[in-house]
Amino acid sequence: MNKVTPVLFSRWPAIADLAAADVLEIETVVRSTGFFHNKAKNIKAAATRIMTVYGGEVPRTMAELITLPGVARKTANIVLGSAFGINEGIAVDTHVRRITFRLGLTKSDNPVVIEKDLMPLFEREQWSDINHFLVFFGREVCEARKPKCADCPLTEICPRKGIK
């Protein structure tokens, strides 16, 4: 996604441009991310809704953001935290799910439950950063298939749940 977004936003710099874009053209840009048919359809539909319902302004509340096609709590938390500095919750993606389970911070694989398990463990001011820290940690140290436990700074406190 990090490679696709610069291309997407350079091609359609304004939300109105994206709302007016052809879905097939959006598909060509987001193809490499997987599930590109749905993503392109949701990107266009979300841009259209932002234009028609929110006057071209990205909503600033969880309740409004999750009305956008393709947007659930994870994306809404990232938008609120990264774009607006609003810490509504903790974005739970595949890295956060894996690491928090391995560390024994949650017993669930449900992102909403994991988010609720994590929120009391951190200060609210840290919530939007937690996802970024755990994603980096998951990519660099606690990888899905071959975690680098020998190099991990948390090895002494990690129960390594789910690791064979």
> In the annotation, is 117 catalytic?
no
Terminal Cα distance for the chain, rounded: 30
In single-letter form, the type of residue at position 112 comes to V
Query: Annotated catalytic residue: which of 3, 41, 44, 74?
Result: 74
Query: Annotated catalytic residue: which of 3, 17, 41, 93?
Result: 93
Cβ neighbours for 141, distance < 8 A, ≥ 6 positions apart? 147, 148, 151, 152, 153
> Which two tokens mark 155?
């090895």
HSE, side-chain direction, 13 A CA sphere, residue 128: 15
Number of Cβ within a 10 Å radius of residue 5: 12
> In the annotation, is 17 catalytic?
no
Give me the active site residues, please.
74, 93
